[in-house]
Amino acid sequence: MTFRSHPAAGKTGYATSSPELERWLSRHIAQGFGAEALVRSMCQSGYDAGFARATVQAALAASGAGGARSGHSPSRSRTAKAGTATEATTSTSQGTATPAIVAPNALPAGDGRDIPVLFAMESPRIALFQRLLMPDECEALIALSRGRLARSPVVNPDTGDENLIDARTSMGAMFQVGEHPLIERLEARIAAVTGVPVEQGEGLQILNYKPGAEYQPHYDFFNPQRRGEARQLRVGGQRMATLVIYLNDVPAGGATAFPKLGLRVNPVQGNAVFFAYLGEDGALDERTLHAGLPVGQGEKWIATKWLREAPYRGDG
């Protein structure tokens, strides 16, 4: 893809279209999103602001909507959802505009299915998707990962190396983007639902938590002030959002907890929680501190997808 200066945030941004972007625009125009909402959403996903405006206007013209929707967005009665088109802005105490996220009660998965949105928050942007994966897909992912499970590391903030720590006691398996036909299909579905292109995603990580295993409160984004974590920014920029997919039902424990929000998401097979933490101005939302609570009974299997602000190159 081609890059050039992002006038709004001083960052690089996309300035070239793709089939995924065209499908995303077509779908959201059909759902009633207006030009301003679509442009804001594209900018937040890393596209250049000028390119976003021109691309959205062209897509509206091609759809026959023209300027009729340029100043309007879908009804406010729609359920809020993270990672798609935005409707309006609200002001923080510092006066910085923060997107107010709006979306329908279900999202097209790109394969003929609709994914229900069970709940959503606007600030921070969190959404729970129902049946993002079907039971057979969950079982197939578990089977694929069994042969390569190893103790899950974390990035050392000082060196950038991956280390084992007591705060994270899960076993994990990493897959390359598109490594397997099933993974390729799921990555396309994730891109369709979140609006983030496949190339901005890190490889899928499958995690297994035995009874008592946990991941204590942590952030998924990188701290650019820490030398080791700053190294990670060279291969796709900052992480901007996380998708956690639950691959099995857990009899007790194992919830994804957001301690600063008083929120817990219980693991239900096929459901997925999405949370975003990178603002349009580059600010990182520390309210997305989260934890994988200890498993009380049985075991927990999840698939984690981290989404970057630019195409990801897993070459360090």
**Mind listing the pLDDT tens digit for each residue in 272-301?**
999 999 987 889 999 999 999 999 999 999
Integer angstrom CA distances of residue 235 from 39, 121, 248, 285: 25, 30, 32, 21
Long-range own/partner contacts, residues 100-104 (CB < 8 A, 24 or more apart): 101/125, 102/37, 102/73, 102/74, 102/76, 102/78, 103/74, 103/78, 103/79, 103/127, 104/31, 104/74, 104/78, 104/79
The residue ranges of every structural domain in the chain are 3-104, 135-308
d(CA 36, CA 86): 8
168 pLDDT tier (thresholds 50, 70, 90): low
> Would you tell me how many other CB atoms lie within 10 Å of the CB of residue 7?
12
The first and second tokens of residue 139, run together, are 């079982």
d(CA 249, CA 296): 12
Residue type at position 291: A
> Would the pLDDT of 193 be above 70?
yes
More confident residue, 25 or 80: 25
Summarize the confidence of residues 226-234 as an average pLDDT: 85
d(CA 39, CA 52): 5
| Whether the model pTM is above 0.85 | no
Per-residue pLDDT tens for 234-267? 889 999 999 999 999 999 999 999 999 999 999 9
Shortest CA distance to 300 belongs to which of 169, 159, 198?
169
Contact predicate 287/269, CB 8 Å: no
d(CA 309, CA 233): 10
Q: Which residue has the tokens 């390359």?
A: 176
pLDDT at 161: 54
- DSSP secondary structure letter of residue 146: G
77 pLDDT tier (thresholds 50, 70, 90): very low
CA 221 vs. chain centroid, Å, equals 12
Q: Of 18-27, 110-119, 123-132, which gets the smallest average pLDDT?
A: 18-27
CATH superfamily for 135-308 is q2cbj1_9rhob like domain (2.60.120.620)
